[in-house]
Structure 1
Amino acid sequence: MSETKPSKTDAEWRAELTPEQYAVCRCSATEPPFSGKWYRHKEAGTYVCAACHAQLFASDAKYDSGSGWPSYYQPIAGAAVTEHEDESHGMRRVEIRCAHCDSHLGHVFPDGPKPTGLRYCINSVALDFVPDGP
């Protein structure tokens, strides 16, 4: 993956992503709870951005929050995601985006487990997975 942030047009993003990925990653939609491919996934590896393949979350930081979306207590590196105030839908939340391509991933909440106390609640459709090993 290139260190340079992608500078793609809306048409290029639409051509590269599935309609569901485009809706979530580029338009901040949310997939229905308990429906995502990675919700109950337990294989060892790394969850990457579906849009640009940047590393986002290690499988050992994943836990079952019961929320209906894949949840992690921390990103793979502090600079992997960015945080943004989100006041949509009559709520105050903290949106999480991929730091590399600015794709919407989900939200972070202060009700997670130790050691961070955070719950990164992420849409499966915004993720891909790279298993550990050969």
Structure 2
Amino acid sequence: MNSFWSKVNETTHTPVNAVWLVVAFCSCLDLIGIGSTLTIVAIFNITAPALDISYIAVIIAHRVYEHRVQFIPGPYTMGRWSKPVNAIAVTWVCFISVVLFFPTIKPVTASNMNYAICVAAFIGLFSMAWWYAGARK
């Protein structure tokens, strides 16, 4: 089954089947907006914190594994300032990610609540289950 999605088209040199899978998934995701504006807003509100968290995941992984994996710095490096700047970046992203989950309107009601945290929890639980089910091997 994996070979079907990862097969590269000889003409376009792209994984066309995987691209069509993403198109179908995004189309289904857009259909949620027709049924519930609140749900689709919650899904879209997770994008900024998720993107920010993906950035710090790389920074943290680099710091955790820096003594186990050889790292070859590129032409642009911060040298001795890299660790303090990384610490500031991780702190800021943790702070702003929490802030981005807050509701934008007061008083908070069921109709204006920012449900992005619920979507984030679902993504986290799904990812952990997926990893436990097979990716850890």
Greater helix content: 2
Instruction: Name the larger-Rg structure.
Output: 2
TM-score range, shorter chain: under 0.3
Going by fraction, where is strand more abundant, 1 or 2?
1
State the TM-score, normalizing by the size of structure 1: 0.23
